[in-house]
Structures are given as C-alpha cells and as structure tokens.
Amino acid sequence: MNARGDIWIVEIKSSVADLRADQKWEDYRMHCDRLFFAFTQDLPCEIFPSDTGLIVADGYGAHMHCEAPEHRLPAATRKSMIVSFGMHAAHRMNRLIDPQGHAEIME
C-alpha cells in the first residue's frame, strides 16, 4: 500500500511450472488496484498475462519491466483491505513487543 492508499499485489514466480500450477493469483485482482508478477530474467515475459505488470529481479535488485494496468477497487473493498492490513500489522507488532502475551491470547 502506498501513501495514496493504492494497493498493489506482487506475485513472485520462480518457474514456468510455478506459474502454471498456482492459479490462486487470478483471485488477487479483486483485492488490489494493480497486479504484478515478479520473476527472474530466466523466465520469458510472454508467459505472463498481458493485463499484469512485470518486475524482473535478480540477486542485486529489481526493475519494473512494464507497468500494471490500473483497475480501481470499489470503496468497500478498499476499506476492508486497509483495515485487514492494519490489523495484521498491529498483530505483528504485538508479537515483537510481547511474544509471551501474544501466545496467551492465541490459546
């Protein structure tokens, strides 16, 4: 999520088999403004859906190969995603600050 509240999802793929076997990313579009795939230079760009952005990464960094088209979330979905994001962040902070207390809550 950026400062404007735009939500991007980046799905990392390590191989052609990984892309073909894992189709859950198709549902991600309903939860973001832009959908990207990140992959290594060993994979051809042509295997990825044309309506997604592409990020090429290696051991030294990454660059955006092409931008993802924008498809704005409905307001209710955006609010739900931002609240969920905040709750997950708060729970992670709680576990860092008080690992013992978190264990008691989860029991």
- Using one digit for the tens of pLDDT, what is the confidence trace for 13-41? 888 888 889 888 888 989 999 999 999 87
Q: Token pair 């092409």 is at which residue?
A: 66
pLDDT at 101 over 80: no
Q: Please report the pLDDT score of residue 98 as a whole number.
A: 85
Nearest-angstrom CA–CA distance, 11 and 95: 26
Q: Is 107's pLDDT higher than 50?
A: no
* Number of structural domains in the chain: 2
Same-domain status, 42 and 87: no
* One domain for residues 1 and 31: yes
Q: Are residues 85 and 52 in the same domain?
A: no
| Average confidence score pLDDT of the chain | 87
Question: Are residue 95 and residue 62 in the same domain, yes or no?
Answer: no
Range(s) of the domain holding residue 32: 1-72
Check whether 106 has a pLDDT greater than 80. Answer: no
69 secondary structure, DSSP code: P
Same domain, 88 and 105: yes
**97 and 64 within one domain:** no
62/80 same-domain check = no
Question: φ, ψ for residue 100 (rounded to 5)?
Answer: -70, -45
Let me know whether 59 and 37 are in one domain. yes
Written as six digits, the tokens of 37 are 């795939």
Are 79 and 51 members of one domain? Answer: no
Q: Are residues 66 and 106 in the same domain?
A: no
Q: Domain check: are 56 and 104 in the same one?
A: no
